[in-house]
């Protein structure tokens, strides 16, 4: 019995000893591991941390340099979505080499965020000098129309004596800018210059309160405000009846353009259109832009631009909106809640987004329309693209590229050109030479009688971001129609009645005074 107890105790002691030995061995192993790690130079750890951080950022920021390398830097083909029975595709888009070719991003801009930022801060735009025409909407609102004639850039040089006559047959491209954008933005200069070099005339229809003009009515533009582009196009069609009108909308301007086309259907005076980087569904964009940190940065940056815009026109916003709320806005939605909804009389922000989303109007578009979007657009998500609606409409051709960022699409080693500009120009030129240009079926008597003013503005100017100028005051004078009752509309508006204002150049723009004689007989149809 004693021997049994002794044997049992011995086994227990052995087990305890084994456990202790195993524990000691484990501790010894960890100690050896720590000792081994301590022998590795600290710069190896820093290098590993750097590699890990680069890998994380490469994926988080959607870099695609390695993807381009694997493809042999050949780029990727664009995806085209269209109705199988579309004559616009078979007769026009199918003949466009650019959209059927391959798009390769500039190598050192192989990231949608870098592309987008580079476009807005640098952009490498060509040198252009616009001629300005002040246009007054029926409600008293002021719109700056910035013209670039084909003769301005012939031979690559600007010529101040260029003009356009009433009987001119050269096509006119009307450009609708994006949110808080005006004609001074690099991507619009790229578009205007390259379009004018092809022999067409270009006019940028700046939004109210932008482009250096004061707000002269209680109406502000928003993402769904189509009345301005409607009256501008109506005016241009009446003023230059022999010149085909084409329209290009960019970003929010694309949303406004598509919405306008859907609202008026066949009854539009334009022959064709292009929409670049359209947000399509504002409600989806609102959700998307809050999803990740990088999108929230865009949201914050755009809200700053909106606050700066409101600051320029504080007297109006203080009276019509919630000024304290505007100053505290940290997102686009905040600004829309405190400003856009109150000024535009929308019940809620979501109501505004739903009513102003162009995706609801696609089915009624009756004009040949090319839409271009990048699948890696960091602002306008692909979730908002109405693929089925575009496919159902025989007038629409949707082109999506794998890369491009928001409104960027830089190409070439030096990033001196934008792919979408080439694609848009080619489409419009092929359309112009085809039998598929849209012809307005019905002329509607809108009762809208815009007038031209004799000066850019009567208020003082202050400098703001992006080299723009904006009037701090709201003083303004207008010539009455009664004073011109017996006069006739001049044959050559820009040649005979424009005078260059001395020392009025700002950011490459040549501001002009338009002094037409306009009779009620000629403008009241």
* pLDDT > 70? residue 94: yes
Q: What is the DSSP string of 459-525?
A: S-EEE-GGG-EEES--------GGGGTT----S-HHHHSEEEPTT--BTTBB-EEE-----HHHH--
Mean pLDDT of 18-35: 66
Going 417 to 421 to 427 to 431, the CA torsion angle's sign is negative
Q: Which has more confidence, 511 or 164? A: 164
* pLDDT > 50? residue 492: no
pTM of the shown model: 0.81
Give dist(CA 70, CA 221) in Å, integer.
Answer: 45
Q: Which residues pair with 145 in a beta bridge?
A: 133, 205
Confidence (pLDDT) at 475: 34
Pick from 427-441, 458-472, 502-516 the range whose average pLDDT is largest.
427-441
* pLDDT > 80? residue 369: yes
* pLDDT > 60? residue 191: yes
Instruction: Compute the mean pLDDT over every residue in the chain, rounded to the nearest whole number.
Output: 83
* pLDDT > 70? residue 463: no
Confidence (pLDDT) at 442: 62
Kindly report the number of other CB atoms within 10 A of residue 497's CB atom.
16
Domains in the chain, ordered, with CATH? Answer: 83-154+166-281+367-440 (3.40.50.1820), 282-356 (no CATH)
* pLDDT > 80? residue 200: yes
Tokens of 38: 């301590």
Mean pLDDT of 54-82: 93
- DSSP code of 372? E
Tokens of 41: 């130079």
Confidence (pLDDT) at 107: 94
pLDDT-derived band of residue 41, with 50, 70 and 90 as boundaries? Answer: confident
Give dist(CA 66, CA 110) in Å, integer.
Answer: 9
Q: How far is CA 523 from the centre of its chain?
A: 33
pLDDT digits (tens, 9 = 90+) for 156-174: 444 555 678 888 999 999 9
Of all residues in the chain, what percent carry a pLDDT higher than 90? 70
Give dist(CA 341, CA 348) in Å, integer.
Answer: 7
Q: Which has more confidence, 51 or 164? A: 51
pLDDT digits (tens, 9 = 90+) for 264-288: 999 999 999 999 999 999 999 999 9
- HEC string of 304-368? HHHHHHHHHCHHHHHHHCCHHHHHHCCCHHHHHHHHHHHHHCCCCHHHHHHHHCHHHHHHHCCCC
Confidence (pLDDT) at 26: 58
Give dist(CA 191, CA 197) in Å, integer.
Answer: 10
Confidence (pLDDT) at 512: 52
Extended strands (E) in 180-312? 201-205, 245-250, 272-276
Mean pLDDT of 446-471: 37
Tokens of 244: 């085909």
Give dist(CA 439, CA 453) in Å, integer.
Answer: 30
pLDDT-derived band of residue 422, with 50, 70 and 90 as boundaries? Answer: very high
Mean pLDDT of 56-76: 92
Give dist(CA 189, CA 128) in Å, integer.
Answer: 7
Provide the angle, in degrees to the nearest 10, between the axes of the packed helices 252-264 and 227-239.
70
pLDDT digits (tens, 9 = 90+) for 201-243: 999 999 999 999 999 999 999 999 999 999 999 999 999 999 9
SS3 444: coil
Confidence (pLDDT) at 128: 93
Confidence (pLDDT) at 144: 97
CB 286 within 8 A of CB 213: no
CB 411 within 8 A of CB 374: no
């Amino acid at each position: 019995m004693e021997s049994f107890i002794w044997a049992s105790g011995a086994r227990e002691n052995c087990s305890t000893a084994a456990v202790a030995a195993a524990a000691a061995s484990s501790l010894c192993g960890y100690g050896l591991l720590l000792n081994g790690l301590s022998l590795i130079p600290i710069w190896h750890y820093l290098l590993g941390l750097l590699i890990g951080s680069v890998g994380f950022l490469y994926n988080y920021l959607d870099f695609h340099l390695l993807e381009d390398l694997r493809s042999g830097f050949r780029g990727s083909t664009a995806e085209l979505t269209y109705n199988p029975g579309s004559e616009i595709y078979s007769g026009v888009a199918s003949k466009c080499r650019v959209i059927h070719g391959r798009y390769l991003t500039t190598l050192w801009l192989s990231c949608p965020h870098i592309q987008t930022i580079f476009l807005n801060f640098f952009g490498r735009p060509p040198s252009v000098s616009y001629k300005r025409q002040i246009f007054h909407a029926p409600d008293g609102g002021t719109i700056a129309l910035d013209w670039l004639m084909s003769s301005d850039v012939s031979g690559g040089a600007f010529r101040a004596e260029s003009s356009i006559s009433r009987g001119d047959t050269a096509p006119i491209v009307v450009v609708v800018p994006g949110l808080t954008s005006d004609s001074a933005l690099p991507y619009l200069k790229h578009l205007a210059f390259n379009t004018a070099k092809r022999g067409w005339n270009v006019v940028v229809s700046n939004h109210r309160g932008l482009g250096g003009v004061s707000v002269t009515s209680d109406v502000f533009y928003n993402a769904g405000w189509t009345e301005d582009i409607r009256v501008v196009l109506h005016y241009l069609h009446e003023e230059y009846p022999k010149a085909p009108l084409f329209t290009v909308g960019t970003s929010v301007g694309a949303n406004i353009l598509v919405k306008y086309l859907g609202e008026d259907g066949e009854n539009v005076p334009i022959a064709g259109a292009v929409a670049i980087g359209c947000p399509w569904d504002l409600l989806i964009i609102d959700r998307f832009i809050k999803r990740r940190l990088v999108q929230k940065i865009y949201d914050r940056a755009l809200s700053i631009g909106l606050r700066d815009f409101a600051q320029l026109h504080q007297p109006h916003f203080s009276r019509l909106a919630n000024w304290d709320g505007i100053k505290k806005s940290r997102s686009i939605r905040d600004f829309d809640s405190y400003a856009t909804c109150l000024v535009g009389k929308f019940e809620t922000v979501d109501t505004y987004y739903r009513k102003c989303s162009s995706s609801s109007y696609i089915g009624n578009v009756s004009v040949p329309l090319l839409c271009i979007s990048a699948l890696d657009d960091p602002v306008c998500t692909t979730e908002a693209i109405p693929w089925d609606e575009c496919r159902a409409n025989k007038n629409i051709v949707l082109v999506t590229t794998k890369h491009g960022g928001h409104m960027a699409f830089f190409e070439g080693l030096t990033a001196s050109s934008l792919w979408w500009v080439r694609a848009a120009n080619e489409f419009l030129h092929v359309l112009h030479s085809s039998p598929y240009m849209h012809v307005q079926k019905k002329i509607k008597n809108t009762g809208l009688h815009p007038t031209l003013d004799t000066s850019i503005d009567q208020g003082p100017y202050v400098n703001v971001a992006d080299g723009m100028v904006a009037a701090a005051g709201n003083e303004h004078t207008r010539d009455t129609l009664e004073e011109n009752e017996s006069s006739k509309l001049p044959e050559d508006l820009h040649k005979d009645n424009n005078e260059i204002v001395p020392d009025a150049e700002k950011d490459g723009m040549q501001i002009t005074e338009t002094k037409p004689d306009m009779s009620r007989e000629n403008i009241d149809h």
